[in-house]
Amino acid sequence: MSSVKEKEYKTFEKIKHLSENGAEYWFARELASVLEYAKWENFAKVIDRAMLACKNSGFEVFDQFAEVRKLVEHGSGAKRQIIDYRLSRYACYLIVMNSDPRKEIIAFAQTYFAIQTRRQEVQDYFDKLDEENKRLVIRGDIKQWNQMLAETAYRAGIIDNEDYARFQNAGYMGLYGGETVECIHNRKKLKPKEKILDFMNSSELAANLFRITLADEKIKKERITSSIEATHAHNVVGQEVRGAIKRAGGILPEDQPTPEKSVEQIAREQISRLKKKKKLMLDE
């Protein structure tokens, strides 16, 4: 273990607590500090997304995210009550998976909280999910991978927004038989600020996730350092995924139906239900 990794490992060990029966747990506010979240409000949004992912993974949310209240002292000496969470290892894993992957500390955190083990657990449960929850899970993965692909593209020479727009369009054009982002947006009859990825069913999202992950791998593996070559590679990958769908006899992405609800709407509805459930449990 390198000195840097060992330091980060000790950081997470330092804030770990043990219950009377030996179960390990972490406090959300301590974890937020280690993960470099300056504002609790921002970290609370990550916790909301992690709770939703926990529900979709088949676990009881409030077993993994136990809400606790703490008294803290102001500079004046007065005390006020704040919300914190007692988090299981799995809850911490979901939090770091829903955090900003561009932070170096997040990468260490993902390793520390055993990504591979948890990913397999989520994958095993995935087939049991209904369509709305499958969309939520895949859309979450796409957000993570799109951020990583953007970084890979940047290192390959795609610096400005105009170049990146061409790079993104090239991938979509490969996968959608020539359709650009604008074409897809118009075909789905979306409003100007609505995102096409939020209005895809699980099959269409899965095809795009495959495109994104393969493009990231191809650019890295071939050590591409030209914006033109990276854009071409993205288009080629899109075509390859489209070809795989055709050979398997699947429905091409442009022929998939457009869902009425966006992923964002589904997420808001489910988070609202979770909060109501939590309130009911506290009132009992």
Q: Say if residue 148 is in the same domain as residue 96.
A: no
Average pLDDT in the 112-124 region?
63
Q: Say if residue 87 is in the same domain as residue 199.
A: no
Q: Is residue 69 part of a domain?
A: yes
Q: Is residue 282 part of a domain?
A: no
Q: Is residue 230 part of a domain?
A: yes
pTM across the whole model: 0.63
Comparing 69-73, 138-142, 185-189, 191-195, the range with the smallest average pLDDT is 69-73
Q: Say if residue 93 is in the same domain as residue 212.
A: no
Mean pLDDT of the chain: 89
Q: Is residue 101 part of a domain?
A: yes
Judge whether residue 207 has pLDDT over 60.
Answer: yes
Q: Say if residue 225 is in the same domain as residue 164.
A: yes
Q: What tens digit of pLDDT does each residue of 216-272 get? A: 999 999 999 999 999 999 999 999 999 999 999 999 999 999 999 999 999 999 998
Q: Say if residue 119 is in the same domain as residue 137.
A: no
Output the pLDDT for position 6: 63
Q: Is residue 284 part of a domain?
A: no
Asked if 53 and 137 count as a contact pair (C-beta separation under 8 A), the reply is yes
Comparing 107-111, 121-125, 135-139, the range with the smallest average pLDDT is 121-125
User: How buried is 284 (Cβ within 10 angstroms: 0-12 exposed, 13-18 middle, 19+ buried)?
Assistant: exposed
Average pLDDT in the 107-122 region?
69
Q: Supply 22's token pair.
A: 């030996």
Q: Is residue 71 part of a domain?
A: yes
- What's the gap between Cα 233 and its chain centre? 24
Q: What tens digit of pLDDT does each residue of 170-192 get? A: 999 999 999 999 999 999 999 99
Number of separate domains in the chain: 2
Q: Say if residue 186 is in the same domain as residue 111.
A: no
Q: Given pLDDT bands bounded at 50, 70 and 90, which one contains residue 45?
A: very high
Q: Say if residue 164 is in the same domain as residue 88.
A: no
Q: Using the 3D structure, point to which of 108, 126, 144 is the last residue of a domain.
A: 126
Q: Using the 3D structure, point to which of 126, 152, 186 is the last residue of a domain.
A: 126
Q: Say if residue 175 is in the same domain as residue 262.
A: yes
**Cα separation values, 266 from 94, 135, 195, 261, Å:** 19, 9, 14, 7
Range of the domain at 32: 3-126
Q: Say if residue 78 is in the same domain as residue 201.
A: no
Q: Using the 3D structure, point to which of 92, 126, 160 is the last residue of a domain.
A: 126
Q: Say if residue 17 is in the same domain as residue 121.
A: yes
Helix 89-97 vs helix 40-56: angle between axes, to the nearest 10 degrees? 110
Q: Is residue 283 part of a domain?
A: no
Q: Say if residue 195 is in the same domain as residue 233.
A: yes
Q: What is the CA radius of gyration of the chain?
A: 21
Q: Supply 215's token pair.
A: 């493009």
Name the strand (E) or helix (H) holding 10: helix 3-14
Q: Is residue 21 part of a domain?
A: yes
Q: Say if residue 138 is in the same domain as residue 110.
A: no
Output the pLDDT for position 21: 86
